[in-house]
Amino acid sequence: MSEVLKIVTGLCPPSATDKLVEFDFTSMATSVPETWTRDTGCPVCGDVAMASRA
């Protein structure tokens, strides 16, 4: 829920960007099993796509 508030309000950048975050609700633990970098040439998340969303 806090990630949604960060995106909607724009007060600070989301902390889960570029990460796969797993939540274990039985133990209330989180882990980050995978991270990646944004491909600037990607038509979905690249520089051109980000500029059109601004």
Q: Which domain holds residue 8?
A: 2-53
Count: domains in the chain: 1
Higher-scoring residue by pLDDT: 33, 52: 33
Torsion, Cα of 33, 10, 50, 31 (10° steps): 0
User: Element (H or E) spanning 23, and its range?
Assistant: strand 19-24
Higher pLDDT, 54 or 26: 26
Rounded to whole angstroms, the Cα distance separating 29 from 23 reads 6
Please state whether the predicted TM-score (pTM) of the whole model is above 0.95: no
pLDDT for 1-51, tens place per residue? Answer: 577 888 788 888 877 778 888 889 999 998 999 888 888 888 877 777 666
pLDDT attached to residue 26: 94
pLDDT of amino acid 17: 76
Q: Which of 38, 34, 6, 2 is nearest to 19 (CA)?
A: 34
Q: Which amino acid is at 34?
A: E
